[in-house]
A and B are shown apart, each in its own frame.
Chain A
Amino acid sequence: MEPVTGLILDYNYKLTLKEFPYIIRWRDDRCKRCGQCTAVCPQGAIRPAVKFQRIIESEGSSPKPKYVRRIITVIEQVNNIENYCTGCAICSLVCPNNAIEPEYNPQNKFLFFKNRGGEAYRRGGRRNDPGVSTLDRIKFTRISMLTDPALDAGRHEFRVRSYIGRILPPEELPLKVENGKLVVDKSSGKFIPPVREIFPIMIGSMSIGALSPHMWEGLAMGVAYLNEVEGLPVVMCSGEGGFPPRLLKSRYVKYFILQIASGYFGWDSIIHTLPYMTEDPAAIEIKYGQGAKPGDGGLLMAPKVIKLIAEIRGVPMYVDLPSPPTHQTKYSIEESVMKMIQSMSMAFGFRVPVYPKISGTRTAKAVLNNLARNPYAAALCIDGEDGGTGAAYNVSLDKMGHPIASNIRECYLDLVRQGKQNELPLIAAGGIGKKGHLAANAAALIMLGASAVAVGKYIMQATADCLGDEYNRCNICNTGKCPRGITTQDPKLYRRLDPDKVAERIVEVFRAANTELKKIFAPMGRSTELPIGMSDGLSIDDKAMAERLEISYAC
């Protein structure tokens, strides 16, 4: 029954702002009503509003209170769950008077409501767990001092390099002794698999399409500069989504790992460009899984499929592009390995390492053992639960997957038991640099057994100021409305990002990481080879973790 006063008292269908993950703090006294914040908000979470205000005023020598009515303008947060504030704080960025900012609301009940219309919540970013990860709990505790002098990161020669590619066991090297010297025995007919020397931190797979043209261009320029000017052989994976044919034909393609995933997006164009390529790519990555969304295929939402993307991928414009959860040609793992790895190897004349990427899983060892038995498998990349994505279901992001630390460790130790720890490099991904400790996390994984690490989210955060974090800040990569211009195909948004600046930052990030890795390895007395599996250098402050990782416990 309607109340007789005409006022609506039942607001139960509306949410209070207390339910929202971020609450806008707006300061009336500072705001000059320029409207920039409301114009820039990617979510439409704030709006200018006109309010009717009744205030009591007392004036004069014998003030008598009286009320006046005023029309005022305010900035108001919308309490519609579809327009929730993501906390991106672009409003704060554009506000000339520091009059507005979002504040995280730890008591929010966002996930209770973000399923309107029966649509499960989808987003970008990574697992929303702001806790300290295992990687960040690992310390480097074996310090050289008296029994073995520490090396000097600034003066001694260091070689911070790793390999991707299948490495032959020493017993199988096709070598013979001639006049007291070892020479390669060409008559043996032994296949020597291709091996690339790389910087042990690589840029993980982020596709053209997921990334804006400016972001991708910036990354690519930075990678080329690092290789050609800085002498740091940093490689970058294309992600699933093809590769610009012009770049494919250029000499720069050698700095890129081309990814093929279950949708095979972009591969028609790559295959057609193959005869015109002058250089081989660094490697081919076959994506079977992704740490951020195990069991799901890739997903490029329709708003991002603009003309350029549609052309590279060979698809119509503005349609959702979901890759299947699994490769359709796959029947069994043996078959998959045989079909995919060997046919990709063959396509590139057996000159390019081909390796699969899987999401972190308890079954990683099964995959690993299969690869260990296939002489063409060049590596195994395991992407842990803290890996990032441009679009996934929140439940997949938050609850699916395996942490990378123990997954890598058990795989490495399994290889050690078989004596194949140097034959099949392990690439670790997912959550590296989550709290900003890029080099330390990478070094920890290397010393647990990884030959290299792949990093995506940190790169976006460090080089293009990606706003996302583990408090679900921003994380709207899937909508194509990235306020930074990183994961959008809208020119109005991506023109905010200067590709030259991204490239500059990439160079700075890797130069600094190179120094930090040396600063970690030097006091541990390691300089010539990467300390892969040097587990005696690590400790952790939790006994159960120490036991699981087979490293020491220190407190």
Chain B
Amino acid sequence: MCRLVAITSSKYFSPMENILALETMKEGHDGSGMGLVLKDLGGEFKELKQYPILSGICSRKGREILDEYMEEMGFKLIHTWKPKIKPVKGIIRRDYYFAMVYDYPDSWRDKSFKEKEDLLMNIRLTLRKMGESDESIFVFSFYPDVITIKEVGDPLELAEFFGLDKDNLEAKIIFAQGRQNTNYQIYLYACHPFFIQGYSTMTNGENTAFVPIKEFLMSRGFPGYIGYNSDSEVFTHILHYTVRQLGFPLPYYKHIITPLKWEEMDGRPDREALVLIKQSLRPLCIDGPNMVIGFTPDGTCFMVQDSKKLRPGVVGGVKGKYALMSELCGLDKVIPNRDKTKDIYPMKYDMVIVSPEAKEVKVWNQLQA
């Protein structure tokens, strides 16, 4: 089962905190890989927040193709972050790991941010397509103020491999997942956390309703709903679809993936709306077992459970720093000096929402909301 470590803070911190927390959960993951998503970046990216960052991996040949394409599209490279690779036994080094900051093409400057988001996504998808067959290019995200790192191997060894302990890479929100795809062959695009246009999620558990959900998303006519090398990717896309595409407030994510029963809706002022959502979004209902941790573009982090609460999950911390974890030991590692009596174990109706900058934690209850 995947082990998940999400930390949100008002101060910048290193992804090593996440990785050390993952290390405490080592019994539960098979060390087959790690995915990191960093949002609200500090360090060398602190002054580059408005520029899109392309994160990925490529071969030498892939690099040439990528550079040529980006130039052709009119992007100007203004900054590059490369990990200082230290060979570690068991980790197969690929040619080129990167997070490249670009300036928008001139013709894009006057476009709205929403349009820019679509254009950035299409660039990412094109690059993905260009390098997918020969694995010459992997691109995980192309978005302002977000970096994604993924590789196969044990998380702690990968941290050493990427030199993350010595790097000044830091952010205010970092999601880490300590394993590659659970059930299918190991493949970089199958590794959580998944990211699309400012929305990201990671999940533990398996999504038994994967195929109908995938087919529903893919038929929405939105080009970003592709991939699905992992059954968990749909959780990110459902979040994106709910909040960005349909314009629903975040708690309705819970109403969509785990709708209330009819009798639970009775007497509520929003019953009519809930009925329509339950019917119209029936194919997006999950059956678990899943716990989902996610963030939205404004920096809100959340945790939700499936309708039977079949997976573990805990949220705890202090004002200014909260962690959302799959296991308690990870939380103890990251924020040992907290009031443990205030730790939150969300149950089947709960959505734990941590506001941006980790200011406050709210438990939103689907039943009473």
Contacts and interface: CB of A to CB of B under 8 A. Distances in A.
Interface string B190-233: 00000000000000011011111001100111000000000000
A533 B245 CA distance: 24
Interface string A168-184: 11110101010011111
A534 B285 CA distance: 12
A159 B246 contact: no
B304 to A, nearest CB: 14
A279 B310 CA distance: 41
Nearest to B272: A184
Nearest to A527: B287
Contacts of A421: 212, 215-216, 219, 283
B280 interface: yes
B29 to A, nearest CB: 13
B280 A167 contact: yes
B211 A422 contact: no
B55 interface: no
Contacts of A159: 261
Interface in B274-291: 274, 276-277, 279-283, 285-289
B1, B212, B221: which has the most chain A beta carbons within 10 Å?
B212
Contacts of A528: 258-259, 285-287, 307
B252, B258, B276, B283: which has the most chain A beta carbons within 10 Å?
B276
B288 A525 contact: yes
A144 B183 CA distance: 12
A177 B274 CA distance: 13
B108 interface: no
Given A416-B215, A417-B219, A147 B182 contact: yes
B187 interface: no
A419 B287 contact: no
Contacts of A192: 276
B219 A173 contact: no
Contacts of A151: 287, 308
A268 interface: no
A159, A197, A528, A532: which has the most chain B beta carbons within 10 Å?
A528
B273 A526 contact: no
B270 interface: yes
B298 to A, nearest CB: 14
Contacts of A177: 247-249
Contacts of B219: 416-421
Contact of B211 (A163, A170, A197, A536): A536
B221 A144 contact: no
A427 to B, nearest CB: 16
A153 to B, nearest CB: 13
B208, B282, B289: which has the most chain A beta carbons within 10 Å?
B208
Interface in A264-306: none
Contacts of A169: 280
A230 interface: no
A156 interface: yes
B211 A184 contact: no
A163 B281 CA distance: 13
Interface string B174-195: 0000000011000000000000
Interface string B302-328: 000001101000000000000000000
B189 to A, nearest CB: 19
A87 interface: no
Given A167-B282, A526-B287, A148 B208 contact: yes
A192 B272 CA distance: 11
Nearest to A412: B215
Given A149-B289, A528-B307, A536 B210 contact: yes
A147 B206 CA distance: 6
A147 B215 CA distance: 22
Given A147-B183, A149-B289, A183-B273, A170 B209 contact: no
Contacts, number: 125
Given A417-B219, A531-B209, A532-B212, A180 B249 contact: yes
Interface in A174-232: 175, 177, 180-184, 192, 195, 197
Contact of B289 (A148, A183, A417): A148
Given A148-B208, A156-B308, A417-B219, A181 B249 contact: yes
Contacts of B259: 528
A198 to B, nearest CB: 13
B280 A183 contact: no
Contacts of B221: 419
A144 B285 contact: no
Contact of A148 (B205, B280, B281, B282): B205
A177 B248 CA distance: 7
Interface in B247-276: 247-249, 251-252, 258-259, 261-262, 269-270, 272-274, 276
Nearest to B205: A148
A525 B287 contact: yes
A103 interface: no
A173 B277 contact: yes
Contact of A182 (B182, B258, B277, B282): B277
Given A148-B289, A182-B252, A532 B283 contact: yes
A529 B287 contact: yes
Nearest to B307: A528
A140 to B, nearest CB: 12
A235 interface: no
Contacts of B1: 147
A253 interface: no
A499 B252 CA distance: 48
Nearest to A183: B273
Given A175-B273, A529-B287, A419 B208 contact: no
A37 interface: no
A148 B209 contact: no
Nearest to A415: B219
Interface string B46-89: 00000000000000000000000000000000000000000000
A170 B280 contact: yes
A345 interface: no
A524 B211 CA distance: 13
B208 A173 contact: no
Contacts of B183: 147
Contact of A183 (B261, B272, B281): B272
A168 B281 CA distance: 9
A517 B224 CA distance: 35
Contacts of A532: 212, 282-283
Nearest to B219: A419
Contacts of B249: 177, 180-182
A162 B286 CA distance: 16
A238 interface: no
Interface of A: 142, 144, 147-149, 151, 156-157, 159, 163, 167-171, 173, 175, 177, 180-184, 192, 195, 197, 416-422, 524-529, 531-536
18 contacts: A147-B1, A147-B182, A147-B206, A149-B289, A151-B308, A167-B282, A173-B277, A177-B249, A184-B276, A197-B262, A416-B216, A419-B216, A421-B283, A527-B308, A528-B285, A528-B307, A529-B282, A529-B283
Given A177-B249, A525-B289, A531-B209, 6 more contacts: A159-B261, A167-B280, A197-B262, A419-B219, A533-B212, A534-B212
4 closest residue pairs by CB, A with B:
A525-B208, A419-B219, A148-B206, A529-B285
